[in-house]
Chain A
Amino acid sequence: MSTDQITAKRVSTDNTSANNISTNHTKTKHISVKRYLPDSSTETFWQEYDLPVDDSTSLLDALNHIKEQLDSTLSYRWSCRMAICGSCGVMVNGIPKLGCKTFLRDYEGDIRIEPLAHFPVQRDLVVDMAIFLEHLAAVKPYLIDDNPVKPYDPNAPETYRQTPEQLERYKQFANCINCGLCYSACPQFGLNQEFLGPAALTLAHRYNLDSRDSGKKERMAELNRHDGVWSCTFVGFCSKVCPKNVDPAAAVNQGKVEAAKHTLIALFKG
C-alpha cells in the first residue's frame, strides 16, 4: 500500500470512500442488563440501555460506555479487554460469554446481559467466584516433583527439560484463563456445587499429563470420587462455551479413563 493511500484513508471521514476499509456504520442498539443493588433492594430488576455501536463494539465496550456516559452505578468486572485475564464473563442471552470477545454486531434483536450462572451474585454483573477458586486449589494445580533426579543445587540450578512432543500432550489444556464460563455452562455444577467442575478437573489433567510432574497419585484422591470426574455426564456445553478452545469436557473424560485405570491398578495391587 502506498503512503498516499494511507493518508487518504486517515483523512477520509465518510464511509462511502472506496479507500475506507473500516466498517464504521454506527447504529443504536438496545441492551437489557440484569441489575442487583443489594444496598437499596434485595430484588433484581432489568434495566434497558440504548447505545451507539459500530461493527467493532464489543460487549465490554458497551458496558464501559454505559458506565462512563449513561449510568455510573453499573458494576461489572474486566481488566485486559483481550481474552486473557478471564474476568469479564457474563451471560448473553443465557449463554456464558467473555464481554471482550463478544461483539454486538453478531446480535440482532434482544441482547440480555446477566451475571454468570451458578455463582452467587454480589452486585449487578459481579459474581462471587470463591467456590471456583477453591475447586481449582483442591486439585494441586502445580508441578509436584517429590523425587527430583538430582537434589537442588543453588549454585548450579538445573532447569526442567521437555521435548515439544511432551509439551504437545498437555498444551491445549494449559490454555485455560480461569474465566469460569464452563462452570456457568455445566448443569452438573449447577446441580451440585461440590462437583470440582470442568476447569479444575482439566487443570488436574493438565498436570497429570506433564512429563515434569509426578503428583498424579495425590491428585487421584480428588479426581477419583463422586464429586470429582464421576459427576460429569458429558453434556459437553463447557467445551462449546470455552473461549480458549481448551475442551474441558475432553479433559474430564480422559480423567475418567485415568481414574478407572487407577482403581483397577489399586485393586490388583491389593
Chain B
Amino acid sequence: MDKSSSQRLPPLKRNWWLKHRFFKLYMLREATVLPLVFFTLCLLAGMVALLQGAESWQGWIAFMGSPIVLLLNLLALAASLYHAATFFVLFPRVMPIRIAGHSLPDQVIVAGQWAGVVVVALLFFWLLGRG
C-alpha cells in the first residue's frame, strides 16, 4: 500500500496516559508487573541461597521476614490479584467458549477462573501443611 498517500500525525507525547482515568487504570494494570518482578527476584535469591548452603539460606529467610520485604511482597500479592481480576474479565472476550453452538456466558467463565485460583491456593496450603 502507498504509505505516503495520506497524512500522518506525529506520535503522541509520553504523557498521553495522564489524560483520562481510563488510561491511568490501564497503566496501573500494566504496572502490576513491577512488584511481581521484585517477588521473582526474591525467589531467585532464595534458590541461590539454597545452593550456597545453610548459612546463606538462614540469611535469606531472615531477609524475607523483614518488614519492608514482607510489605513489598504483600503489595506483589495485591498487584497480582488485581491483574488477575482484570485478566479474568478480558479472557472470555478473547476466547469465547462455545458449547454445542452456544457461547458460554461471560460470568460463568470469570467464575470458573476464580474457582481455579481457589483450587490452586487450597492445593498449595495443603502441600504446605504436610511439609
Contact = CB atoms under 8 A, between A and B. Distances in A.
A94 B24 CA distance: 14
A23 B95 CA distance: 44
A192 interface: yes
Contacts of B20: 94-95, 237
Interface residues of B, number: 23
B19 A94 contact: yes
B11 A190 contact: yes
Contact of A118 (B9, B23, B96): B9
B16 A234 contact: no
A233 B20 CA distance: 17
B126 interface: no
A249 B12 contact: no
A95 B22 CA distance: 10
Nearest to A131: B6
Interface string B1-24: 101011111011000110110110
A131 B4 CA distance: 10
Nearest to B92: A250
Counting chain B CB atoms within 10 Å of each CB, the highest count among A138, A236, A237, A257 belongs to A236
A191 interface: yes
Interface residues of A, number: 30
A254 B5 CA distance: 30
Contact of A193 (B8, B17, B19, B101): B8
Interface SS of B by simple majority: loop
Contacts of A237: 20, 22-23, 26
Nearest to A95: B20
A134 interface: yes
Interface in A240-270: 240, 247, 249-250, 253-254, 256-257
A130 B7 contact: yes
A91 to B, nearest CB: 11
Given A94-B20, A235-B23, A253-B94, A128 B12 contact: no
B90 interface: yes
B25 to A, nearest CB: 10
A236 B12 contact: no
Given A194-B3, A254-B94, A187 B16 contact: yes
A240 B11 CA distance: 22
A233 B3 CA distance: 24
A190 B93 CA distance: 24
A131 B26 CA distance: 26
A43 interface: no
Given A94-B20, A134-B1, A187-B17, A119 B90 contact: no
Interface of A: 94-95, 118-120, 128, 130-131, 134, 138, 165, 187, 190-194, 233-237, 240, 247, 249-250, 253-254, 256-257
Interface of B: 1, 3, 5-9, 11-12, 16-17, 19-20, 22-23, 26, 30, 90, 93-96, 101
The 4 closest A-B pairs by CB, nearest first: A130-B6, A250-B93, A190-B12, A253-B94
